[in-house]
Structure 1
Amino acid sequence: MGTATHDGAESTAGDEELVVSANARFFRALGDPTRIAIIQLLLARPHTVSELINELDVPQSRVSNHLACLRWCRFVETERKGRQVLYSISDPRIRDLLHLATRMAGDNLEHLAASQRTGPDWL
């Protein structure tokens, strides 16, 4: 027997596990400073890979790998314009999410940025 969700629908343990797993991956995709920087740039306007490389001053391979992750997670989408591929935010709610995260972190921004307890070595 399942449990009632906030909208009154039945959910099973398998559904709950799927939601938890998907949410963890959702936040993990946002857990990299370069990916957040890419998202912030794309919130301002669509960019090409070359523009992102110049703005971020990181190697092309790193930008491409992060864009692949962001595309896979459906945070960004592409549009071909001639020979160029423009990357843009696929869901404008990401702006609200980042704004809320910044508000929640509040006065703890420096503390959270310096945390040694949430890195890949600790997990």
Structure 2
Amino acid sequence: MSTPLYQLKAEFFKTLGHPARIRVLELLSEREHAVAEMLPEVGIEAAHLSQQLAVLRRANLVRTRKEGSSVYYSLASPELAELLRVARSILSGVLAEQAELLADLRAARSQAKPPT
């Protein structure tokens, strides 16, 4: 029996569920990067970055190539960059709605205050 698609999607999103992995994918959305280039951008220790990259490799979300002693990473699919763009757009909309709600609440609170 095959795994239901919704379960596969849940596993996919679990793989994306770490800030360091998202940051790595954002960097790789721009261009291929060597591990050493990503370290200062991701802001975690080398061993931890290596673990996060291994998770992305096992999920077939990134590809590697070796050049000399450097390992270069790239996205396995350009759709990952699009997914990150869509997520940014969704979050921007959500945050804009929350900001509007907060402004409405503050306005209502200032109108409800008795004069001093």
TM over 0.5: yes
Q: Per-residue deviation at 1:45?
A: 1.4
3-state SS of 1:77 partner:
strand
Is 2:66 aligned against 1:80?
A: yes
Is 2:86 aligned against 1:100?
A: yes
Of the candidates 53, 56, 65, which is equivalent to residue 67 of structure 1? 53
Q: Per-residue deviation at 1:109?
A: 4.0
| Counterpart for residue 40 of structure 1 | 26
Is 2:36 aligned against 1:50?
A: yes
Q: Which structure dedicates a bigger proportion of its chain to helix?
A: 2
Residues 15-34 of structure 1 aligned to structure 2 (within 5 Å):
15=2, 17-34=3-20
Once the two structures are superposed, residues 52-72 of structure 1 have per-residue CA deviations (whole angstroms, 9 ceiling, x without a partner) of 112222101110011001111
Per chain length, whose mean CA-contact separation is higher, i.e. which structure has more relative contact order (CA < 8 Å, sep 6+)?
A: 2
Question: Scaled by the length of structure 2, what TM-score is found?
Answer: 0.74
Larger radius of gyration: 2
How many angstroms apart in 2 are the aligned matches of 1:41 and 1:98? 11
Q: Amino acid of the residue matched to residue 64 of structure 1?
A: S
Question: Scaled by the length of structure 1, what TM-score is found?
Answer: 0.70
Q: Amino acid of the residue matched to residue 31 of structure 1?
A: G
In structure 1, runs of 5+ residues without a counterpart are 1-13, 112-123
Q: Amino acid of the residue matched to residue 73 of structure 1?
A: A
In structure 2, runs of 5+ residues without a counterpart are 99-116
3-state SS of 1:58 partner:
coil
Once the two structures are superposed, residues 84-112 of structure 1 have per-residue CA deviations (whole angstroms, 9 ceiling, x without a partner) of 1101111000111111122223332497x
